[in-house]
Chain A
């Protein structure tokens, strides 16, 4: 039963919508402090070796040039030598090395010099005049080449990635079971938000202001202040709007520190706007994966063993694990034996990073394709197979999932899609000359909660300003937080102004892992309690208040705009009256930052299901997705419209992953050959089908007082598998290396 009404918040329009469509919304690199100069990078076009010489004479003499930095002369941050100490605060530096730190080249596209000039054109021209010569060495570019250096990390951000439960190997040799084993390959994918990364650095003595396109203002503040060995508060970070990120603005990349170094060298503020082509080498990407999955099940489809072995790449200057198995097979189905292995191969390619659902996204692609192959082997309906293996408990932690409604996702999705009319036989369904395929897959993403604090300023006119150093990546966070603030504080939506994107505000965590709404929402719940208490303190001392002489602790919000006695609601007073009688223009409260309580008795995870239809011309086989039904179980949905947008965007990105996205590299130089939006194909409107989104379930109050679990990433999970499964159903051909471009289907005719 869909309990939609229970979980859906109001369908608010975006509070920042008007500012965005009119251009009034100012993004980080659109700020221009007085005397601002511009940086342009010079890059390595070899993947490994040493910088032999930097000849900047001609460039130095070019018009407008203020400074040229390289490893020879860059102002060196005085950062702590020990890695542990460098990383003791907040934030992540995916590339461990300092930009211009030495003469080593670790990947093609590495910044080896930076030109600062008065205009961007002058900087670009002069950058072309800097002659850097290299002494190349043989690079490692593939898993095979880096075999000797492969590592098996135990954990990834404190989460175990090598999992073992039951006897997988023995079960996989049991001849009474139905088995499949296949390898699935995904290519490098690049985030490509429309707003490129960029930083403006402005020094004022030993104080530094950074306007930075980031998912983590407090992280940037922490990393940069530690690098320069400055008190944290000496570095201010400003980022009111982000034009998409998908993970590539989560860590601190070389351009951020480089901008601060260049501004120091040039003696003026410096703007370093990363070029689109450098978004393919300098701000991370999703690592390519090679995943081998073995499944064994009884004749009636009960899983007895699952093995998920993943190989991925990382760079030689940063560690990154895309934990595909732990985040898909490790959470999805009820199986007595599970084994997950992850191996990481360091190569001379720039460092990969989080990209929307890191681990879950490629992991669910492989797992959900494997489940489809198992369903075929068992002659079982794919939905039935998944229902037969539904996990009430977390398969590894063995504690119950909280507010899990995955069965309902399958049921509602199948009904809306018309799944019952599916003929299981591949190539059996047609639309004129086109092959029609129906596929489905399960979606999943964990519920993450970090820590945050918030501040409220309530004014006597009944309006409030709420602040937290959180972020809006274009997701609608401004709107969601305005909505939560309004509900929790008891102040009309129109009277709440929510401010974010400044390191001056109380702590907000990285806008990653789909945690922001749950984390900041919890902080807003807490600060609302503080506000109500502060008002109560005023009221109980005010002889004119109906609450005079009551105990402040007995008082709570009884209706929007009023506090009153917990067990005698009629005895109440309004916020405005309390402030006016106290002669106060405003009242201000701020919550404390505390570690979130860990609930070990339950597991918090979102689920969903995608049902996809594709149509394919068998002779000219470009796959067209014609219909998607997506059903999501993610707790409470704070604001319906942006939430629906997130799922639609995620599914479309999954379609892109399935059918067209791939960053290819030149096998000789190690440079990406795909480095612009003409060549890197993401879905266009013509590729994007109608996506029917439904939210089911109940608020997850065991997780947090708002009841929400986050929605930014679950949309992309499973989607590529559902498309790939539909392609199999349409054609009878199983393509196991993404993307499924026309050339891979030529033999289906």
Chain B
């Protein structure tokens, strides 16, 4: 861990001006990912800007039935238990509760969770000489290494890491919008544009700019999101990252699919919106055959490696199960 200075932000402007002026400054929220990575020597900020006292913890309805706003500092546990979320967006509540442990969720924040970094072993441990994400140009240790937890969709030869978050998968299915504030002003980033695929620049996880602070995440009003389900497949019953996960939101009318929103976790460098599956479901009868066909369509482009090819079939089954569960809801 490197020496660093510590600043407690008094307002969002101050936070953005610090990170805007010092390229190696970092926002400190719950610290459950950042501090860990600093101890490992992966993150080496020279300055931490603690935003924990900023008034960004709200969870409230947007005006005119416009959905729900979640503050950038709202804790994962508070979001998961909030009646607005539990009632209107059960998939998000379920996703949050499927992540980490109660102790971690009590600290982890919405902004921090959006920006948590991959759990790829080769990234997380600088003892490994190769990682294009940690050290551009050094190669990808996972490609020919132990790659059981790695990506099957949208990866590149430079990087096969996955985004490990559960929350992000639900946000992707819910078409969330990330509200950010930079030194020059505020802007909105649709969740689909927030995280990036690795391409040739796996060192850049997201399209957030260096001077930007996540102030909130907006969930649009989706009346049918009450029919939603989050399914997480992992190696043990709790407290493990997803091998594969699925957030499914179904708009059912008389047994026909009027619209579906599906996102996958554990399979790609970003929460993977399953647009091909969604298209295949449009207007179809909600039954297992349809679901399986949709899953096949989505995973047709998937590519596995030595230890993770099982994820392709597992993802298909998880899609079918998540959709079936959502369809069966009262």
Binding site for B on A (CB under 8 A): 43, 45, 108-109, 121, 124-125, 128, 277, 619-620, 622, 624, 659-660, 664-669, 671, 673-675, 678-679, 681, 683-687, 741-743, 746, 749
Kindly list chain A residues whose C-beta atoms are within 8 Å of the C-beta of B148: 664, 743
Kindly list chain B residues whose C-beta atoms are within 8 Å of the C-beta of A125: 1-3
Q: Report the Cα distance A687→B235, complex, angstroms.
A: 10
Q: Report the Cα distance A684→B310, complex, angstroms.
A: 24
Q: Report the Cα distance A726→B216, complex, angstroms.
A: 49
Asked whether any CB of chain A lies closer than 8 Å to the CB of B64, the reply is no
Which of B121, B127, B238, B314 has a CB less than 8 Å from the CB of A679? B121
Contacting pair B146 A619 (CB below 8 A): no
- Which residue from chain B places its CB closest to the CB of A120 in the assembled complex? B1
Kindly list chain B residues whose C-beta atoms are within 8 Å of the C-beta of A45: 127-129
- Which residue from chain A places its CB closest to the CB of B320 in the assembled complex? A619
Contacting pair A687 B314 (CB below 8 A): no
Report the minimal beta-carbon distance from A578 to chain B, rounded to whole angstroms: 56
Q: A43-B127, A620-B318, A668-B145 are in contact. Are A686 and B238 (CB under 8 A)?
A: yes
- Which residue from chain B places its CB closest to the CB of A625 in the assembled complex? B237
Report the minimal beta-carbon distance from B118 to chain A, rounded to whole angstroms: 13
Of B10-18, B23-31, B201-209, B239-247, the stretch lying at the interface with chain A is B239-247
Kindly list chain B residues whose C-beta atoms are within 8 Å of the C-beta of A277: 125
26 A–B contacts from the bound complex (CB under 8 Å): A45-B129, A121-B1, A125-B2, A128-B1, A619-B320, A619-B321, A620-B318, A622-B237, A659-B235, A665-B146, A666-B141, A666-B146, A667-B145, A668-B141, A669-B127, A671-B128, A681-B235, A684-B236, A684-B239, A686-B238, A687-B236, A687-B237, A687-B238, A742-B314, A743-B314, A746-B310
Binding site for A on B (CB under 8 A): 1-3, 39, 41, 119, 121-122, 125, 127-129, 141, 144-146, 148, 233-241, 243, 310, 313-314, 317-318, 320-321
Q: Report the Cα distance A366→B196, complex, angstroms.
A: 46
Kindly list chain A residues whose C-beta atoms are within 8 Å of the C-beta of B128: 45, 666, 669, 671
Kindly list chain B residues whose C-beta atoms are within 8 Å of the C-beta of A684: 236-239
Which of A666, A678, A683, A741 has a CB less than 8 Å from the CB of B241? A678
Kindly list chain A residues whose C-beta atoms are within 8 Å of the C-beta of B241: 678
From DSSP, what is the main secondary structure of chain B's interface residues?
loop
Contacting pair A128 B2 (CB below 8 A): yes
Report the minimal beta-carbon distance from B117 to chain A, rounded to whole angstroms: 13
Kindly list chain B residues whose C-beta atoms are within 8 Å of the C-beta of A686: 236-239
Contacting pair B146 A681 (CB below 8 A): no
Give the A-B contact count at a CB cut-off of 8 A: 97
Kindly list chain B residues whose C-beta atoms are within 8 Å of the C-beta of A619: 317, 320-321
Contacting pair B127 A660 (CB below 8 A): no
- Which residue from chain A places its CB closest to the CB of B234 in the assembled complex? A622
Kindly list chain B residues whose C-beta atoms are within 8 Å of the C-beta of A666: 121-122, 128, 141, 145-146
Report the minimal beta-carbon distance from A621 to chain B, rounded to whole angstroms: 9
Kindly list chain B residues whose C-beta atoms are within 8 Å of the C-beta of A685: 238
Which of B1, B236, B317, B318 has a CB less than 8 Å from the CB of A683? B236
Report the minimal beta-carbon distance from A128 to chain B, rounded to whole angstroms: 6
Q: Report the Cα distance A687→B321, complex, angstroms.
A: 22
- Which residue from chain A places its CB closest to the CB of B141 in the assembled complex? A666
Q: Report the Cα distance A108→B141, complex, angstroms.
A: 16
Report the minimal beta-carbon distance from B5 to chain A, rounded to whole angstroms: 14
Report the minimal beta-carbon distance from A31 to chain B, rounded to whole angstroms: 23
Which of B144, B235, B317 has a CB less than 8 Å from the CB of A660? B235
* Among A659, A668, A685: residue with most chain B CB under 10 A: A668
Kindly list chain B residues whose C-beta atoms are within 8 Å of the C-beta of A673: 121-122, 125, 145-146
Kindly list chain B residues whose C-beta atoms are within 8 Å of the C-beta of A683: 236
Contacting pair B313 A746 (CB below 8 A): yes
Q: Report the Cα distance A171→B127, complex, angstroms.
A: 52
Q: A125-B3, A669-B129, A685-B238 are in contact. List 8 more A-B contacts (CB 8 A).
A: A45-B128, A620-B318, A620-B321, A622-B233, A673-B125, A673-B146, A742-B310, A749-B317
Kindly list chain A residues whose C-beta atoms are within 8 Å of the C-beta of B2: 125, 128
Contacting pair A678 B129 (CB below 8 A): no
Q: A665-B146, A666-B145, A746-B314 are in contact. Are A622 and B235 (CB under 8 A)?
A: yes
- Which residue from chain A places its CB closest to the CB of B231 in the assembled complex? A620
Which of A108, A675, A681 has a CB less than 8 Å from the CB of B236? A681
- Which residue from chain B places its CB closest to the CB of A275 in the assembled complex? B39
Kindly list chain A residues whose C-beta atoms are within 8 Å of the C-beta of B119: 678-679
